[in-house]
Structure 1
Amino acid sequence: MKKVYWAALSYMVLGLAAGLYYRELTKAQEFTGDTQLAVAHTHLLALGMLFFLVVLALDKAFGLAGDRLFTLFFWFYNSGLALTAAMMLVHGTMTVFGAESSAAISGIAGLGHILITVGLVHLFLALRKALPAGKEAR
């Protein structure tokens, strides 16, 4: 359970830092257009901090943390979210500086989304396994 708490806390710090980075970079460069930096902040807070706070409650209710499926969820999801957020920051920074984007950035971000999906599948498998069985559980 503690690793889920630390993940939520880490994403809170990263989300707030991403918001500060967006604000200060665009102000320093006098940039007024659209950039992915604007949504990196909310992605990290929602998909990171808030999501892991919900997972913390689910872990408390169902004791998921000891299960192998939960461990797989945790590492797939975190690696996918970190990769996706990093590519948002790279792409957004390139936009602010007027640099041309590349297909590699989109491909790596896509890989991050795939890892998030694999992680979510493992979370739902762990939840299904942890739910009580039988008629009385309906």
Structure 2
Amino acid sequence: MKKMINTAFTYALLAMAGGVFYREFTKFNHFTGQTNLGFVHTHLFVLGMIGFLIVALFVKSLPHVLADKKFKIFYILYNTGLCLTAVTLAWRGIIQVLAIPVSNGLSTSIAGIAGIGHILLGIGIVLFFLIIRKKAD
């Protein structure tokens, strides 16, 4: 359980840093439009901090969760997916704020990497449901 709380705390710190970066970076660059940078903060808070606080509650109330062989896979896939998603949101947001012209290929690559991150998150969520459903009766 402590590992889940530490993971949630790490995501809370990253989310706060992402929020401060978003505010200061856009202010410094006199950017007033919409950018993907604002979603970094939200993704890390909700999917990271709140997500792992919920996982910690399940770990506490259902002892089989940590013992399940799929739990380690869930933990790795979910964290990898969330980190990929956050990094690509930040990458895209910085490009938007700085108005850097990007080729269609690079834009598609960024979207593809973000998509992979979301797919890994989705697989992680499904795995977690399979783990908690196993003995929830």
TM, length-normalised to structure 1: 0.92
Partner of 1:77: 78
Write out aligned runs for 1:91-102 (5 A): 91-101=92-102, 102=107
Structure 1 residue 67: deviation in Å? 1.2
| AA partner of residue 108 (structure 2) | A
5+ long unaligned stretches in structure 1: 133-138
For 1:126, which of 122, 131, 136 is the aligned residue? 131
Structure 1 residue 121: deviation in Å? 1.1
Partner of 2:87: 86
Write out aligned runs for 1:18-29 (5 A): 18-29=18-29
The alignment status of 1:67 with 2:68, answered yes or no, reads yes
The alignment status of 1:116 with 2:121, answered yes or no, reads yes
The range that moved more, 97-106 or 84-93, is 97-106
Structure 1 residue 106: deviation in Å? 0.2
Structure 1 residue 80: deviation in Å? 0.3
Write the distance in 2 (CA, Å) between the matches of 1:113 and 1:54: 19
The alignment status of 1:51 with 2:56, answered yes or no, reads no
Structure 1 vs Structure 2: percent identity of aligned residues? 43
Write the distance in 2 (CA, Å) between the matches of 1:112 and 1:39: 14
Instruction: Give structure 1 regions of 4+ aligned residues with deviation exceeding 4 angstroms.
Output: none
The alignment status of 1:5 with 2:5, answered yes or no, reads yes
TM, length-normalised to structure 2: 0.93
Partner of 1:36: 36
Write the distance in 2 (CA, Å) between the matches of 1:11 and 1:65: 20
| AA partner of residue 124 (structure 2) | G
5+ long unaligned stretches in structure 2: none
Q: Name the count of aligned residue pairs.
A: 132
